[in-house]
Amino acid sequence: MKLIPRHQAGSAGSGNGQMWLHVRRPNLPWRQASLTECGDVLDDRMPLANRDDVLEQVAAAGMQATTAAGICPACLTAACRWPTFAADPVRAVAREYADRNPRFAAELRALGVLAATHREELDTLLAELADVTDVAEARRRRRR
Ligand SMILES: [Zn+2]
Going from the Cα of 71 to the center of ligand 1, the distance in angstroms, rounded, reads 8
**Euclidean distance between CA atoms 107 and 66, whole angstroms:** 34
CA of 28 to the centre of ligand 1 (A): 18
If you measure from the C-alpha of residue 95 to the centroid of ligand 1, how many angstroms do you get, rounded to a whole number?
A: 16
Q: How far does residue 73's CA lie from ligand 1's centre (Å)?
A: 7
Write down the pLDDT at residue 138: 67
Instruction: State residue 16's pLDDT score.
Output: 55
Backbone angles phi, psi at 98, to 5 degrees: -60, -35
Strands 22-23 and 48-49: parallel
| pTM above threshold 0.85 | no
**Ligand 1 center from residue 23 Cα (angstroms):** 6
By CB neighbour count within 10 A (0-12 exposed, 13-18 middle, 19+ buried), where does 84 fall?
middle
Q: Can you give the pLDDT at residue 99?
A: 82
| pLDDT at residue 100 in the model | 83
Q: Which residues pair with 71 in a beta bridge?
A: 21
State the distance from the centre of ligand 1 to the C-alpha of 74, rounded, in angstroms.
5
Mean per-residue pLDDT, 109-138: 88
27 membership: H or E segment, kind and range = none
pLDDT digits (tens, 9 = 90+) for 99-120: 887 888 999 999 999 999 999 9
